[in-house]
Amino acid sequence: MLTYMRNIGIMAHIDAGKTTTTERILYYTGKSHRIGEVDDGESIMDWMEQEQERGITIQSAATTTYWKRTTRGPQYQINIIDTPGHVDFTAEVERSLRVLDGAVAIFDAVRGVEPQTETVWHQAERYRVPCIGYVNKMDRVGADYFQVLEDVTAKLNVRIAAIQIPIGRENGFEGVIDLIDMREIRWASAEGEMLLYSPVAAERKALAAEWREKLIDALSQVSDAVTERYLSGEDPEPDLVRGELRTAVLKRDLLPVLAGASRRNIGVQPLIGAVVDYLPAPDEAEPALGHHLKKEEDIQVPCAPKGVPLGLVFKIQNDREAGGLCYIRMYSGSIKPGAVLYNIGKKKRERANRILRMHSNKSEPLDELCAGDIGVVIGMKFAQTGDTIGSEGWPVILEKMQFPEPVISISIEPKTLSEQEKLKEILTLLAREDPTFTTKENEETGQLIISGMGELHLDVLVTRILKEYKVGAKVGNPQVTYRESVSKTVEKAASFSRIIAGKENAAALTLRVEPLNRGSGNRYTCAVKNRDIPESVYGAIERGVRGAFASGIILGYPCIDVGVTVTGIRYAELTGSEFAFEACASMGVDDACREASPILLEPVMAVDLICPKESVGDVIGLVTQRGGQVASIESKNQLDEVKASAPMAKMFGFMTSLRSASQGRASFTMEFSHFEKKSEKNY
């Protein structure tokens, strides 16, 4: 039953404890019989060799577990996706949140809201994913639960509803006070399996009453039922509080927050209970948005197990034995092994040879994948991330995911000619798996150029090529991926004429090229409306223009923020071919852009640094030496957070300098912010 199903993601900044918490959830729900530790390289969810060596999550891993709160209560199916925290793998978070109904946001009790926490929070907001919060690492030196709550309120602009407060902190952290049932919870055994409940101690009653009052106050602002009880002087009973809190979470009006220390096995069982209590079942989440191709209108897709099959491919993973694993979230209907599916966007028929339920890198066969569930289909040849799978009779395309463009490139070439084709095949496989990884061949040098989101992203991919696929390859130094644009408006007439196979192919156009606001993307407009000109010609002109955008102006980097308007078309029925108009449009845009004062744009990165207070001066000096600008400095306990922006070309090797300046105590994250004009003249 959908009522007893939850699709959740675990999201946070790197090293906040996502995988550690997930490992405990699997242990306490009986899915695993030992607790896998990230630090020992024995985590179940971090199954890739690279993840175990580096101690970080690289690929989002899916698993399914079952939870019974009481022996006589219902059994809940919880589909969990553990997402990466590093900014270079933000696409993994993006595609996971796109298909999840709820999420657990984990905050570090010492560092509070970190840079990547904000990024994933905004991703969750974009897909309107209801969340609950969990303040982890309460046992660490400098842990401050109440400071984290203030940080979350200020930075994420969300209304907090603390449903627990900690008993003690740092080494003295021993449990939590449940503000709904007003009782203390402690964990008796070393592995945290036994929970001990007791009344709130006298010395903590005042603090518990204060935070209980804050919880009821926050709830009364969004619940009439709680407000009535509050005004009448009655204390709302626990079931009413839970019910109204659930309603508020589903509407994204409140963020319930819990506390714990997952590494010490404290706080995880109440978190599992909160997932069941407050996060939505698939049929309670907002209906998916789709576009009906025949009716040309947007529609809502209700979660109906008996409806027409419709699902979204949100991840592709290559398996050496099984081939492509297509992770699918079903939104309507169901599919069975052997069924013929229809790739609606590509208009191709596919076959679901097998359907699997994944548990990290292990699997078990499924007889049916129903609406609301997540599974893996084996046998689809054409599917890519973002494709909609359904039936020909109901051509609805689900809302696609948007991924950032790669901003860093390196060259890679095989050590021997015999490995060249194998390397190209592997790069194609990796590009199919990862939508933020691209590969192309430089026509002039013949080099293979691969591009990604950052140095770590490309390092992981190259290591996989060398170790996992065992291909000998030489790798070049990282290079920044620049962009080209124009700085003034130019109107130009273009013509094309060629005799091919004895037939004249001719075309003539007038077009205007203009600069657009930075970040608005390229825009193509055709201002000519003439019924005597075939639709195929209009399509050929658009292909020519968009092809010119991709091929660049002078240095061959892709164009951005350029507007092209076709203002005139001279068409002759005897000589006007599609080929001629496509070539004419491409050459016309190229010539016009060269006259429109072309400029070179470089990627500027948003840099977030966390460093000890005594090192902040040296760290700021490092940033400014590399052409960076400091935007803000914020104090957090013993640490300072510095937000800055810097050109990517000057940030290579920054980690080595940062460690040297801070005795290895500082860390930073960097993500693409925007493109801006390169200061020195390169044309």
List pLDDT tens digits, range 225-250. 888 887 887 888 999 999 999 999 99
Q: What is the pLDDT of residue 568?
A: 92
Cβ–Cβ under 8 Å, residues 91 and 405: no
* Sign for the pseudo-dihedral over CA of 449, 453, 459, 460: negative
Confidence of residue 14 (pLDDT cuts 50, 70, 90): confident
Mean pLDDT across 74-88: 77
H-assigned helices in 354-468: 420-433, 455-463
pLDDT digits (tens, 9 = 90+) for 35-60: 655 544 455 555 455 545 555 555 66
Q: Which of 611, 590, 614 is nearest to 657 (CA)?
A: 611
**Cross-strand bridge partners of residue 319:** 323
Distances (CA, A) of 499 to 502, 533, 537: 6, 21, 18
Distances (CA, A) of 386 to 4, 60, 98, 346, 434: 27, 16, 10, 11, 11
Confidence of residue 445 (pLDDT cuts 50, 70, 90): low
Residue 528 has pLDDT above 80, yes or no: yes
Confidence of residue 115 (pLDDT cuts 50, 70, 90): confident
Residue 683 has pLDDT above 90, yes or no: no
**Cross-strand bridge partners of residue 476:** none
Q: What is the pLDDT of residue 90?
A: 67
**Nearest-angstrom CA–CA distance, 438 and 547:** 17
Q: What angle do CA 386, 391, 393 make, to 5 degrees?
A: 125
Confidence of residue 514 (pLDDT cuts 50, 70, 90): very high
E strands in 175-306: 175-178, 183-187, 195-199, 255-259, 288-292, 297-301
**Nearest-angstrom CA–CA distance, 137 and 261:** 5
**Nearest-angstrom CA–CA distance, 157 and 448:** 45
Name the residue type at position 141: V
H/E stretch holding 6: strand 5-11
Question: Which has the minimum average pLDDT: 436-450, 470-484, 579-593, 640-654?
Answer: 436-450
Mean pLDDT across 73-87: 78
pLDDT digits (tens, 9 = 90+) for 350-379: 888 889 887 766 778 889 999 989 998 988
- Please tell me whether residue 83 adopts helix, strand or coil conformation: coil
Residue 66 CA from chain centroid, whole number = 26
The encoded tokens of residue 633 equal: 């400095």
Question: Which has the minimum average pLDDT: 95-99, 163-167, 192-196, 352-356?
Answer: 95-99
Phi, psi dihedrals of residue 359, rounded to the nearest 5° = -130, 90
Mean pLDDT across 107-123: 85
Residues whose CB is less than 8 angstroms from the CB of residue 514 and which lie 6 or more positions away in sequence, other chains included = 486, 489, 490, 562, 563, 565, 596
Q: 631 or 39, which is more confident?
A: 631
**Nearest-angstrom CA–CA distance, 107 and 128:** 20
Cβ–Cβ under 8 Å, residues 181 and 152: no
Residue 565 burial (CB count, 10 A)? 18
Mean pLDDT across 296-316: 88
Residue 591 has pLDDT above 70, yes or no: yes
Mean pLDDT across 587-607: 91
Mean pLDDT of the chain: 85
On the 0-12 / 13-18 / 19+ scale of CB atoms within 10 A, 491 is middle
Q: What is the pLDDT of residue 1?
A: 66
Q: What is the pLDDT of residue 408?
A: 80
Query: pLDDT > 70: what percent of the chain?
Result: 92
**Nearest-angstrom CA–CA distance, 430 and 562:** 31
Residue 602 has pLDDT above 80, yes or no: yes
**Cross-strand bridge partners of residue 670:** 607
The pairing of beta strand 164-167 with beta strand 175-178: antiparallel
Question: Which has the minimum average pLDDT: 206-215, 512-521, 674-683?
Answer: 674-683
Confidence of residue 545 (pLDDT cuts 50, 70, 90): very high
The pairing of beta strand 629-636 with beta strand 490-500: unpaired
Phi, psi dihedrals of residue 326, rounded to the nearest 5° = -100, 110
Residue 20 has pLDDT above 80, yes or no: yes
Q: Which of 220, 267, 262, 269 is nearest to 245 (CA)?
A: 220
Mean pLDDT across 514-538: 89
Q: Which of 568, 571, 566 is nearest to 506 (CA)?
A: 571
Distances (CA, A) of 295 to 96, 292, 493: 29, 6, 38
Phi, psi dihedrals of residue 105, rounded to the nearest 5° = -95, 120
The encoded tokens of residue 361 equal: 């890198």
Any idea how long the chain is? 683
**Nearest-angstrom CA–CA distance, 130 and 252:** 5
Q: 61 or 198, which is more confident?
A: 198
On the 0-12 / 13-18 / 19+ scale of CB atoms within 10 A, 646 is buried
Name the residue type at position 279: L
**Nearest-angstrom CA–CA distance, 98 and 592:** 40
Confidence of residue 439 (pLDDT cuts 50, 70, 90): confident
Confidence of residue 331 (pLDDT cuts 50, 70, 90): very high
**Nearest-angstrom CA–CA distance, 14 and 26:** 20
Give the DSSP per-residue string, 284-347: TSPPEEEEETTTTEEEEE--BTTS--EEEEEEEEEETTTEEEEEEEEEESEE-TT-EEEETTTT
Mean pLDDT across 617-621: 89
Cβ–Cβ under 8 Å, residues 349 and 381: no
Mean pLDDT across 654-661: 79
Most confident of 27-36, 341-350, 559-568: 559-568
The DSSP code for 464 is I
**Nearest-angstrom CA–CA distance, 87 and 51:** 15
Q: What is the pLDDT of residue 167?
A: 94
The DSSP code for 140 is S
Q: What is the pLDDT of residue 446?
A: 66
Q: 259 or 29, which is more confident?
A: 259
The encoded tokens of residue 462 equal: 């190259």
> How many CA atoms lie less than 13 Å away from 246 in the CB half-sphere?
17
Distances (CA, A) of 88 to 59, 109, 406, 451: 11, 24, 10, 12
Query: pLDDT > 90: what percent of the chain?
Result: 35
Q: What angle do CA 284, 285, 286 make, to 5 degrees?
A: 120
Residues whose CB is less than 8 angstroms from the CB of residue 656 and which lie 6 or more positions away in sequence, other chains included = none
pLDDT digits (tens, 9 = 90+) for 565-583: 999 999 888 888 889 999 9
> How many CA atoms lie less than 13 Å away from 23 in the CB half-sphere?
27
Q: 171 or 320, which is more confident?
A: 171
